[in-house]
Amino acid sequence: MRYIIGGNWKMQMGPLNSIKIAKEMVNHLKDIKNIEIFIAPSYTSLKDLSEIFKGSNIKLSAQNMSEFDEGAFTGEIAGKWLVELGCSYVILGHSERRRIFGESSEKVNKKLLKALELGLKPVLCIGETAQERIEGKKFRVNEEQLEKSLSNVSLNQISQIIIAYEPVWAINNRALNPVGEIRAATPAEAKEMHDFIRSWLIDKYGSNIGQNIPIQYGGSVTPENSEELFKIPNINGALVGTSSLSAEKFSKIVFYASKLS
Ligand code: PGA
């Protein structure tokens, strides 16, 4: 399976910087042919980046979208406008959406079904908190998020979806992890959960389909730890936050994946 490497810029890159870094990325990554790459900037940079990425091997993603078509919904962004601006992917159910903005799996599911209807590839994020892990709920939490977020997705549609396993405790975010060390999952921790997700997908959708749904790992991915993570069979790439804010670091991560693919 090809690796898929995504950069999630969150609310961390303004319009002018976005243009600069996006151009650097196009340049750094122009020779990479065997990796699927996407960048998710702020909504306010989608149009600029759509122009910059045109003809390159970097695809455009949004970080979220509305579950509604369009209408009187202050502050929301319609998926069809993301398509109009050239997005191919949309990140849904990121832990920051779930845990800081209170998005439930039911809401994520509505957004995901809308994205599929519009031909956007959903990157469905799931992950347990440190507390849930301590309480022995890690499998249950991820399973429940998968079950509910993927409700009513047909066998035909499921192959459009990318899963991103992002343990909340590994995400470089002090709002999510106010105390303690924030670190990437070790290869063993990541493997355990990726294997679990893979079995769940195979149980649910059959082995032909379930085997081929990409599962990205996310949470403190860096050029230093990515290669080891990519060697794990059920890790099919990464969703990268902090390290995607640097064209150089992000490109190194892509190069490691490219080398292994
Ligand atoms: P991080 O973020 O790489 O900064 O930990 C990952 C993510 O939240 O997608």
Q: Which atom of ligand 1 is nearest to the CA of 220?
A: 5
The DSSP-derived string for 13-82 is --HHHHHHHHHHHHHHTTT--SEEEEEE--GGGHHHHHHHHTTSSEEEEES---SSSSSS-TT---HHHH
Residue 96 is given by DSSP the state I
For residue 46, what pLDDT is reported?
Answer: 98
Task: Reply yes or no on whether the pLDDT at 1 is more than 90.
Answer: no
Q: Tell me how crowded residue 181 is: count the other CB atoms within 10 A of its CB.
A: 6
Q: What is the set of active-site residues?
A: 94, 166
Task: Reply yes or no on whether the pLDDT at 3 is more than 90.
Answer: yes
At 100-123, the pLDDT tens digits run 999 999 999 999 999 999 999 999
CATH 3.40.50.300 is held by the domain 4-260: no
pTM: 0.98
- Residues with beta carbon inside 6 Å of ligand 1? 8, 166, 171-172, 218-221, 239-243
